[in-house]
Amino acid sequence: MRNVFVDGYNVINSWPELKKIKEYSLEAARVKLIDYIQNYATFKGYKVYIVFDAHMVSGSLQKKEKITDNLIIVYTKEGETADSYIEKTVNKIGRNTEVCVVTSDSLEQQVTFQRGAIRMSSLEFYFEVKEAENKIRSKSEKKYSEKRHLIEDRIQKDILEKLEKIRRSK
C-alpha cells in the first residue's frame, strides 16, 4: 500500500477552491481538504496522512486522528513544522515502503526524495485528486443510469393490481 504524506497548509495555499475558502475560514478549508482526500484515499486504496503545522500554537501536543483506515490527520506539536514531521517519518519508512510526499516546498521535496520518497507538487496532486473525483462520479452515474429493475416488471399483472388496490385502500 502506498503511503502519501500531505503538507496540509501547503496544499490549502495552492488549491484554488481551498484558497478562497481559507480567506473566510481556515477551519472550513481544512475540513474541505479532508473531505477531498478521504474520497481520494478510499478510491485509490492509499494510506494518506494529512499533516498540519501546530508549531506556532503554544502548548500544542502532537495529535493523530484516524478518520478511516485510509486517512490519518496529524497535528504537529509546538515547535515542530509539518515539514520536519514528514521528513522524520519518511526517514523511518521511506526505503521500506512506497511513500509519496505532497508539497510545493522545493527543499522539502529534495530532502524527502533523498530519503526514498516520491515527490509531488501540490498542484500535481490537485489534478490527481480531481481526476479520481471524476472517475468516482462517472462510476456512480453509470451505476445508477443502468436500467432500473422495478417490481412492476417482475410480478404478474393480477398480483400487481391487488397490491395497488391494497395500497390505495389505506
Looking at the domain assignment, is residue 69 inside a domain?
A: yes
DSSP letter at 78 equals T
Looking at the domain assignment, is residue 170 inside a domain?
A: no
Q: What is the pLDDT of residue 168?
A: 85
Query: Cα(148)–Cα(124) distance, rounded to whole angstroms?
Result: 38
Residue found under cell 509519496: 100
Looking at the domain assignment, is residue 119 inside a domain?
A: yes
Query: Cα(110)–Cα(10) distance, rounded to whole angstroms?
Result: 16
Residue 147 is part of which domain span? 3-164
Per-residue pLDDT tens over the stretch 41-90: 999 999 999 999 875 556 666 678 888 899 999 998 888 888 888 888 88
Looking at the domain assignment, is residue 160 inside a domain?
A: yes
Looking at the domain assignment, is residue 169 inside a domain?
A: no
Looking at the domain assignment, is residue 141 inside a domain?
A: yes
Question: Against a cut of 0.85, is the pTM above it?
Answer: no
Per-residue pLDDT tens over the stretch 89-135: 888 876 778 888 898 876 666 676 666 678 888 999 999 999 999 99
Per-residue pLDDT tens over the stretch 22-31: 999 999 999 9
In the chain, the percentage of residues whose pLDDT exceeds 70 is 80
CATH of the domain at 19: 3.40.50
Specify the number of domains making up the chain.
1
